[in-house]
Amino acid sequence: MLKQILAQFAASDRPLCAADVGQMLGVESRAMEGMLATLARAGRLEEVAADVCGRCPVRGACFVMGERQGPHYRLAQSAARRMMPAEVARAACDLVE
């Protein structure tokens, strides 16, 4: 499941929250919150700084972060380098099955 989560982040062009990833994978957002926090502690994801969004002049109409609440994450740069294209493809194929 964690590889599938990382594959979703690798394929996304924006930060994602637990509700986003949970909806993509068919998992309740409460359960997804714990998995995202685990991946963040392991250095695979990094939380997008809330203070950056707070200073943003278009935060009310943001198309990047969406309307979802709670912490938003992106794939950590070190994790992006470690994830090989074949690994991403395998995880995506697992989602279809």
Domain, as residue range, for 19: 2-96
CB atoms within 10 A of CB 76: 19
Euclidean distance between CA atoms 93 and 36, whole angstroms: 21
Number of domains in the chain: 1
Regions in the chain scoring below 50 on pLDDT: 84-85, 88, 96-97
Q: What pLDDT score does 61 carry? A: 60
Q: What pLDDT score does 40 carry? A: 92
- CATH number of the domain bearing residue 85: 1.10.10.10
Q: What pLDDT score does 27 carry? A: 93
Q: What pLDDT score does 63 carry? A: 58
Q: What pLDDT score does 57 carry? A: 65
Q: What pLDDT score does 93 carry? A: 54
